[in-house]
A and B are shown apart, each in its own frame.
Chain A
Amino acid sequence: MEQELIHDLAAAYALDALDESERREFEEHLASCEQCSEELVGLGDAAAALAYVAEGPAPPAALRERLLDRVHEDRAPNVVPLRRRFALPAVASFAVVAAAAAIVLGVWAAGLSSSLDRKDAIARVLGDPTATSVSLGQSSRVSIGKDGQAVLVSRLSTAPPGKTYEVWVIPARGSAKPAGLFRVGRSASPMLLSRTVPEGAQLGISIERRGGAPHPTNILFVSSSA
Chain B
Amino acid sequence: MNLRVLPAAARRPASRDHSGFPDEALLALVAREDEEALAALYDRYSRVAYGLALRVVRDPALAEDAVQEAFLAVWRSAAGFRSDRAKPSTWILTLVHRRAVDVVRREERRRAVPLETTEQLDAYGLATDEEIELTDRRRLVQEALRQLPDEQREALELAYYAGLTQSELAERLSVPLGTIKSRMFTGLRRLRDILAEAGLDEPLAEL
23 cross-chain CB contacts under 8 A? A12-B159, A12-B185, A14-B188, A16-B159, A16-B160, A17-B166, A18-B166, A19-B165, A37-B85, A44-B86, A46-B188, A47-B97, A51-B49, A52-B138, A53-B145, A56-B55, A71-B75, A72-B11, A114-B76, A187-B1, A211-B18, A211-B32, A212-B34
Cα–Cα, bound, A80→B5 (Å): 10
Asked if A25 CB lies within 8 Å of chain B CBs, one says: no
The number of inter-chain residue pairs (CB within 8 angstroms) is 222
Asked if B35 CB lies within 8 Å of chain A CBs, one says: yes
Asked if A76 CB lies within 8 Å of chain B CBs, one says: yes
Within 8 A of B (CB), among A57-102: 57-60, 63-72, 74-76, 78-81
Q: Give the 10 A-B residue pairs with the shortest CB-CB distance, closest first.
A: A59-B50, A56-B51, A46-B192, A54-B55, A17-B159, A11-B185, A48-B93, A48-B90, A51-B52, A11-B188
Q: Is the CB of A67 within 8 A of B48?
A: no
Q: Is the CB of A58 within 8 A of B50?
A: yes
Asked if B206 CB lies within 8 Å of chain A CBs, one says: no
Chain B residues, CB < 8 A from A55: 47-48, 51, 124, 126, 134-135, 138
Cα–Cα, bound, A161→B70 (Å): 30
Cα–Cα, bound, A197→B106 (Å): 45
Cα–Cα, bound, A11→B190 (Å): 11
Q: Is the CB of A211 within 8 A of B17?
A: yes
Q: Is the CB of A54 within 8 A of B51?
A: yes
Chain B residues, CB < 8 A from A60: 60, 64
Asked if A193 CB lies within 8 Å of chain B CBs, one says: no
* Main SS class of interface, B: helix
Cα–Cα, bound, A10→B201 (Å): 20
| Shortest distance between the CB of B123 and any CB in chain A (Å) | 9
Q: Which of B2, B11, B87 contacts A80 (CB 8 A)?
A: B2
Kindly supply a per-residue 1/0 record for chain B positions 87-116, scoring 1 wherever the CB is within 8 Å of any chain A CB and 0 otherwise: 101100110111001000000000000000
Cα–Cα, bound, A72→B35 (Å): 7
Kindly supply a per-residue 1/0 record for chain B positions 43-80, scoring 1 wherever the CB is within 8 Å of any chain A CB and 0 otherwise: 10011111110111000100110011001100111010
Asked if B207 CB lies within 8 Å of chain A CBs, one says: no
Chain A residues, CB < 8 A from B97: 16, 47-48, 51
Q: How large is the interface on B (under 10, 10 to 19, 20 to 34, 35 or more residues)?
A: 35 or more
Most chain B CB atoms below 10 A, which of A41, A46, A51, A186: A51
Q: Is the CB of B33 within 8 A of A75?
A: yes
Asked if B147 CB lies within 8 Å of chain A CBs, one says: no
Chain B residues, CB < 8 A from A18: 165-166
By beta carbon, the residue of chain B nearest A43 is: B188
Q: Is the CB of A67 within 8 A of B93?
A: no
By beta carbon, the residue of chain B nearest A45 is: B90
Q: Which of A59, A209, A211 contacts B67 (CB 8 A)?
A: A59
Binding site for B on A (CB under 8 A): 8-12, 14-19, 22, 37, 40-60, 63-72, 74-76, 78-81, 113-114, 158, 162, 178, 180-181, 184, 186-187, 194, 209-212
Q: Is the CB of B2 within 8 A of A71?
A: no
Q: Which of A12, A51, A113 contacts B76 (CB 8 A)?
A: A113
Q: Which of A51, A66, A194, A211 contacts B29 (CB 8 A)?
A: A211
Asked if B205 CB lies within 8 Å of chain A CBs, one says: no
Most chain B CB atoms below 10 A, which of A15, A22, A74: A15
Asked if B175 CB lies within 8 Å of chain A CBs, one says: no
Q: Are A68 and B3 CB-contacts (below 8 A) given A17-B159, A52-B134?
A: no
Asked if B36 CB lies within 8 Å of chain A CBs, one says: yes
Chain A residues, CB < 8 A from B118: 53
Q: Is the CB of A210 within 8 A of B46?
A: no
By beta carbon, the residue of chain B nearest A55 is: B51
Q: Are A12 and B181 CB-contacts (below 8 A) given A41-B85, A55-B138?
A: yes
Asked if B196 CB lies within 8 Å of chain A CBs, one says: yes
